[in-house]
């Protein structure tokens, strides 16, 4: 796989969903086109920008300037940074602010931020006046390649991650790669876990390319934009075929059943970012697949080696405060996994691997085998 030469024109990835189709616009400085694209898409619409305090420092005025240049009125709603806002209280804050801003059904909500802001603002848009359209402007690598695409919105419950939400597709995604310049190395690494996931679950050649070129992806430039566009195309293709996750789309949850349980166990805190939980979860899924004889031990080791090479956690013991809050308790982790959205009639389904690039849905996995596997990993 080779990287295409850099072009001034942004890459456009189509999400084909009939009359709800939309485009992902990928490129450096494409945020400047936000107002122009919204004006073309929704003439006369007003907007409300939902963002968090950290993102607002860097990108809010630029987004507002683009909207103003296109003659689009906007208001701003600023929430606290992190998962603390992806709660009942955060949803109430944003929803009431949207009502106070008099956002009507023909207006637009603009989600300017990472995955938390996108999920929160999208869910508020989904329930405001029984549905208002929204635009995703992701500002983290994780959001660019994953949460901004596909229409999953929601908030966390104290009992688990993303247990409350709605499918509500955006009408446009503006994926400006310049926003990644302001990310901390840790946040970028966490987002990279989702990039690697696309190779592990369905594109062996892309995973091989990442093994050779991850340094350039981290450095920026054409390799980074190629990795983002490849990831977005992979997700867009799956979402187009299975919007509501009745089948194939569940493969995108590779690593998430384990990862979400770990996030819940750490209180949805900065002790474990979502992408870090996914990285550990992917390793656990690969190693459990190897234990079941589905994948070669060498392939599981290869996945683990690549994630560790870029600086992501790959062991349960890598989590800060590992021995706290049930992290060293297999039964507690099993209880959290039982709240996963892929549980059907009380039976746990897992996304496992038959090889690198060959994810599969395994139904009704024996809980005793998962518990024994976790106990083994906890003892290492």
By annotation, the residues acting in catalysis are: 130, 152, 194, 235, 245, 249, 253, 256, 260, 274
CA-wise closest residue to 239 among 278, 268, 198, 208: 198
Report the first-to-last Cα separation within the chain, whole angstroms: 37
Adjacent-strand bridge partners of 79: 52
Main-chain dihedrals φ then ψ at residue 354, nearest 5 degrees: -100, 0
As to burial, measured by CB atoms within 10 angstroms (0-12 exposed, 13-18 middle, 19+ buried), residue 366 is exposed
d(CA 153, CA 116): 9
β-strand 160-167 against 11-15: which pairing, if any?
Answer: unpaired
Q: Which residues neighbour 294 within 8 Å (Cβ) at sequence distance 6 or greater?
A: 352, 353, 354, 360
β-strand 133-138 against 172-176: which pairing, if any?
Answer: parallel
Q: Which residues neighbour 264 within 8 Å (Cβ) at sequence distance 6 or greater?
A: 159, 160, 161, 336, 339
- Give the up-direction half-sphere exposure of residue 239: CA atoms within 13 A in the CB hemisphere: 28
Helix, strand counts (H, E) of the chain = 14, 11
Angle between helices 330-337 and 367-378 (to 10 degrees): 130
Main-chain dihedrals φ then ψ at residue 233, nearest 5 degrees: -65, -40
Q: Are 287 and 309 in contact (CB under 8 A)?
A: no
């Amino acid at each position: 796989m080779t990287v295409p030469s850099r072009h001034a024109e942004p890459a456009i990835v189509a999400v084909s969903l009939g009359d709800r189709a939309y485009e992902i616009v990928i490129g450096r400085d494409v945020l400047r086109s936000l107002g122009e694209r919204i004006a073309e898409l929704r003439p006369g619409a007003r907007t409300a920008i939902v963002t968090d305090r950290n993102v607002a420092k860097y990108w809010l005025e630029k987004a507002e300037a683009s909207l103003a240049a296109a003659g689009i009125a906007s208001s701003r709603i600023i929430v606290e940074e992190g998962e603390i806002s992806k709660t009942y209280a955060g949803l109430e804050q944003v929803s009431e602010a949207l009502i106070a801003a008099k956002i009507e059904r023909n207006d637009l909500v603009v989600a300017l931020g990472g995955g938390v802001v996108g999920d929160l603002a999208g869910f508020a848009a989904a329930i405001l006046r029984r549905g208002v359209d929204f635009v995703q402007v992701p500002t983290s690598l994780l959001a660019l390649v994953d949460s901004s695409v596909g229409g999953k919105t929601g908030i966390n419950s104290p009992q688990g991650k993303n247990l409350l939400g709605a499918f509500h597709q955006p009408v446009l995604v503006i994926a400006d790669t310049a926003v990644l310049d302001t990310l901390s190395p840790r946040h970028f690494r966490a987002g990279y876990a989702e990039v690697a996931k696309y190779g592990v679950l369905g594109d062996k050649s892309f995973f091989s390319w990442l093994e050779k070129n991850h340094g350039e992806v981290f450095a920026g430039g054409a390799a980074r934009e190629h990795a983002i566009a490849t990831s977005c195309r992979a997700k867009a293709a799956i979402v187009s075929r299975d919007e509501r996750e009745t089948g194939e789309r569940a493969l995108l949850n590779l690593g998430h059943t384990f990862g979400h349980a770990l996030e819940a166990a750490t209180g949805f805190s900065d002790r474990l970012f979502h992408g870090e939980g996914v990285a550990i979860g992917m390793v656990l899924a690969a190693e459990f697949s190897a234990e079941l004889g589905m994948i070669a031990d060498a392939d599981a080791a290869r996945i683990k080696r690549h994630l560790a090479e870029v600086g992501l956690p790959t062991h349960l013991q890598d989590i800060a405060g590992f021995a706290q809050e049930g992290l060293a308790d297999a039964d507690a982790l099993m209880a959290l996994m039982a709240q996963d959205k892929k549980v059907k009639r009380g039976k746990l389904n897992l996304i496992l691997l038959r090889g690198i690039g060959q994810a599969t849905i395994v139904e009704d996995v024996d809980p005793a085998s998962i518990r024994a596997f976790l106990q083994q990993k906890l003892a290492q």
